[in-house]
Amino acid sequence: MDHTLARYNAMDVLATRLILRPLQEEAQEAQVHNFYHERVLPLAQAVQAMARHGLHLDQARRTGLIEEYQAAQATARGALPPDLNPNARRQVGQWIANTLKLPLSRVTPTGQAATDEDTLRFLAEKYQSLELLRFLEYTEVSKLLGTYLVSLPLHEDGRVHCQWLVHGTATGRLSSRRPNFQNQPRDIRVIYTAEPGWRLAEFDYDQIELRLMAHLAQDVRLLESFATGRDEHGLNAQFLFDLDAPATKDGPTSGLRDFAKVPLYGVVLYGGSPRTIALDPRKLVGVPGGRKRVEEWSQWYFRQHPQISTWRQATMAQAAKAGRLYNWAGRIRIFFGHEHKRMRAACNFPIQSGAADIINQALVAIHQAGKPACRVVAQIHDALLVEYRGEFPWWIQEIMERSVEIDGRAFTVPVTPKDGTCWGELTHAHRARSQ
């Protein structure tokens, strides 16, 4: 071995040893020593196993999808000017302003006209620009090809093994890279299938963050909605769009119902303001009254849910006083930076991190069950994707639906199971009565 490399490795080991005791003392002082040993280390083992399993790739499906996307890419490129370089953002901005005559009012921190996807999609939809829609189609297809199809790090075992990170987010949610499974578009998921003789099952928590917020705030109306099946998203859409009746999951108002989730999650769950929602023009396409209407909706929502408003204020006050918060599992978040960002993070942390630790706890329990005919292959947002053989693993749903104690009360989230042989084509699983 090269002496320089050997010396570097030795110093690396020594430095790690030297900081061990100070880190242990700091962990004890911050009261996260037990959290690390009881939750983080077992999670790391479960995540390592998940990365080792990976996802089986169907090469024939992948090849077919590549050919389909390449054809779409060529069609979209043929509709653009031959001398336009889609990757040259300044040239794209000049083409939009000078040739298409569309206003680029937003600018980047460097003073250049903003040509990000959200801004261009807003312009294309507002001015019904076919040329700009073609440009967006070209860039989207090119991104999908390059990121999720052509350059996949395929292992010799025929599976894709991404890197799962237990420390990739401040809230404890797992993140992944090379490739990012959690951002896989649904159209791309069809290339991932179960191994011959195996099947795929997905177990998805139902609105876990919204349910956790209702539990933490003990909001009477929201708890009642979950208990009775009242559709809060439909009611939100009714107010936001001034509809005669609540929007429905199916039918002509289903899109408005989905759209109404944007201010709910952006303002209420994640601690943003109507102004921050309004700054993203794509999020307000179709909302009569724009920012003003979102502000009216926000005021209306907190009048309907006063306990949520009270809980938010108390959480921000606690974070401002202590400079840190702990969630139900003992995870800590220390707050730095601008006051507005600190308070927004304070509102967000107990909900996002609390939900993350519920999912992580379930992942660890499934891993520790040690059943060889069942293996978790991915964690996608609020869902666990499992590869199994034999009988459908209903025991996983039972583990995930176990109640946890949060603020002295039992908290349970229902789980929706799906089944199939292709990740992108899973359907609802139904339990036989005899089971």
3-state secondary structure string across the chain: CCHHHHHHHHHHHHHHHHHHHHHHHHHHHCCCHHHHHHHHHHHHHHHHHHHHHCEEECHHHHHHHHHHHHHHHHHHHHCCCCCCCCCCHHHHHHHHHHHCCCCCCCECCCCCECCCHHHHHHHHHHHCCHHHHHHHHHHHHHHHHHHHHHCCCECCCCEECCEEECCCCCCCCCEEECCCHHHCCCCCHHHEECCCCCEEEEEEECCHHHHHHHHHHCCHHHHHHHHHCCCHHHHHHHHHCCCCCCCCCCCCCHHHHHHCHHHHHHHHHCCCCHHHHHHCHHHHCCCCCHHHHHHHHHHHHHHHCHHHHHHHHHHHHHHHHHCEEECCCCCEEECCCCHHHHHHHHHHHHHHHHHHHHHHHHHHHHHHHCCCCEEEEEEECCEEEEEECCCCCHHHHHHHCCCEEECCEEECCCEEEEEECEHHHCEECCCCCCC
Please give the structure tokens belonging to residue 202: 């997905």
Looking at residues 381-386, what average pLDDT do you find? 96
Q: Higher pLDDT residue, 277 or 324?
A: 324
Q: How confident is the model at residue 23 (pLDDT cuts 50, 70, 90)?
A: confident
pLDDT of residue 278: 55
Percent of the chain's residues with pLDDT above 90: 59
CA dist 170 → 70, 174, 333, 335, 356 (Å): 38, 10, 7, 10, 11
pLDDT of residue 203: 98
Q: Is the pLDDT of residue 288 over 80?
A: no
CATH value of 210-353 in 1.10.150.20, 3.30.365.10, 3.20.20.70, 3.40.50.2020: 1.10.150.20
Q: Is the pLDDT of residue 190 over 60?
A: yes
Q: Which has the minimum average pLDDT: 64-68, 156-160, 186-190, 257-261?
A: 257-261
Percent of the chain's residues with pLDDT above 70: 95
Question: Would you kindly state where each structural domain of the chain is located, as residue ranges?
Answer: 60-150, 210-353
pLDDT of residue 270: 82
Q: How confident is the model at residue 286 (pLDDT cuts 50, 70, 90)?
A: low
pLDDT of residue 168: 87
Q: Is the pLDDT of residue 47 over 60?
A: yes
Q: Does domain 60-150 have CATH number 1.20.1060.10?
A: yes
Q: Is the pLDDT of residue 12 over 60?
A: yes
Q: Is the pLDDT of residue 153 over 80?
A: yes
> What would the pLDDT profile of 195-229 be if each residue is shown by its tens digit?
999 999 999 999 999 999 999 999 999 999 999 99
Asked if 60-150 and 210-353 have one fold, the answer is no
Q: Is the pLDDT of residue 328 over 60?
A: yes
Q: Which has the minimum average pLDDT: 123-137, 298-312, 358-372?
A: 123-137
pLDDT of residue 276: 62
Mean pLDDT for all residues in the chain: 89
Cα–Cα distance for residue pair 320/53, rounded to 1 Å: 43
